[in-house]
């Protein structure tokens, strides 16, 4: 009930440092929403399954070297190549729970010293999220969780810079959840935020584009 003709899905983005719990929280959220009969998919950027994604993946694994601006543009291109599918899904009523988006793109590249405005430019015109949820954790606490692997960015010094950049990018519309709360509590907060967002979008809020 309540699915009006033409009602669209929501674009919900989860952001946060490595080890903040985004991936497990977003998959639990999707199962919950599916159980409630909400049409929903979980997406993840970078999408390593495309050919651009393959280049990103070998860069992250330190198997390829790339200029900082070149890799930045590949991450952005990896979102652009999914844009039309994203729009089609949303318009057909499917909500998308997206693990990382343009904010990761800017926060990570700017941590290498690139200017924020330069980093934001190629993201302009992508679909704007209806809600950004930030799983907030101090870089030191994230590092204590262990499981930093061997990927390029998984180092404390770098994650500190990324964290600062996320805080610069965030605005009053972001929903911040303390990532050090028990997993259950985080999930409870996430569920109610997501349901509220999905309900709001169904009742006619138009899609918009970055940057808001």
**What is the 3-class SS of the chain, one letter each residue?**
CCCCCCCCCCEEEEEECCCCCHHHHHHHHHHHHHHCCCCEEEEECCCCCCHHHHHHHHHHCCCCCCCHHHHHHHHHHHHHCCHHHHHHHHHCCCEEEEECCHHHHHHHHHCCCCCHHHHHHHHCCCECCCEEEEEECCHHHHHHCCCCCCCCCCCHHHHHHHHHHHHHHCCCCCEEEECCCCHHHHHHHHHHHHHHHHHHHHCCCCCCECCC
Q: Is there binding between residue 59 and ligand FDM (CB under 6 A)?
A: no
CB of residue 150 to ligand FDM, shortest distance in Å: 12
Taking the least distance from each CB to ligand FDM, the nearer of 93 and 123 is 123
Q: Is there binding between residue 75 and ligand FDM (CB under 6 A)?
A: yes
Q: Is there binding between residue 21 and ligand FDM (CB under 6 A)?
A: no
Interface residue with ligand FDM among 20, 25, 26, 104 (CB under 6 A) is: 104
Instruction: Return the structure tokens found at 84.
Output: 């039309």
- Site size with ligand FDM, rule: CB under 6 A: 10
Taking the least distance from each CB to ligand FDM, the nearer of 60 and 137 is 60
Q: Is there binding between residue 60 and ligand FDM (CB under 6 A)?
A: yes
Interface residue with ligand FDM among 80, 148, 153, 211 (CB under 6 A) is: 153
Interface residue with ligand FDM among 100, 120, 175, 202 (CB under 6 A) is: 100
In Å, the largest CA–CA distance within the chain is: 52
Taking the least distance from each CB to ligand FDM, the nearer of 9 and 46 is 46
Binding pattern for the stretch 110-149 against ligand FDM, x by CB under 6 A and - elsewhere: ----------------------------------------
Which residues contribute to the site for ligand FDM (CB under 6 A)?
A: 18, 45-46, 60, 75, 100, 104-105, 108, 153
């Amino acid at each position: 009930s309540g699915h009006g003709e033409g009602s669209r899905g929501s674009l919900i983005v989860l952001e946060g440092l490595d080890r903040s719990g985004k991936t497990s929280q977003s998959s639990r959220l999707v199962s919950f929403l599916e159980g409630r009969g909400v049409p929903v998919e979980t997406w993840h950027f970078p999408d390593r399954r495309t050919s651009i994604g393959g280049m990103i993946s070998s860069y992250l694994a330190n198997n390829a070297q790339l200029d900082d601006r070149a890799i930045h543009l590949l991450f952005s291109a990896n979102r652009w190549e999914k844009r039309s599918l994203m729009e089609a899904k949303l318009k057909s009523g499917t909500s998308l729970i997206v693990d990382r988006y343009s904010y990761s793109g800017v926060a990570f590249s700017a941590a290498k010293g690139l200017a924020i405005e330069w980093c934001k430019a190629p993201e302009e015109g992508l679909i704007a999220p209806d809600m950004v949820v930030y799983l907030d954790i101090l870089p030191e606490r994230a590092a204590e969780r262990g499981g930093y692997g061997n990927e390029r960015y998984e180092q404390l010094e770098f994650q500190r810079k990324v964290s600062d950049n996320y805080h610069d990018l965030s605005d009053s519309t972001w929903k911040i959840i303390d990532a050090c709360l028990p997993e259950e509590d985080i999930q409870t907060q996430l569920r109610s935020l997501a349901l509220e967002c999905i309900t709001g979008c169904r009742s006619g809020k138009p899609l918009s584009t970055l940057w808001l």
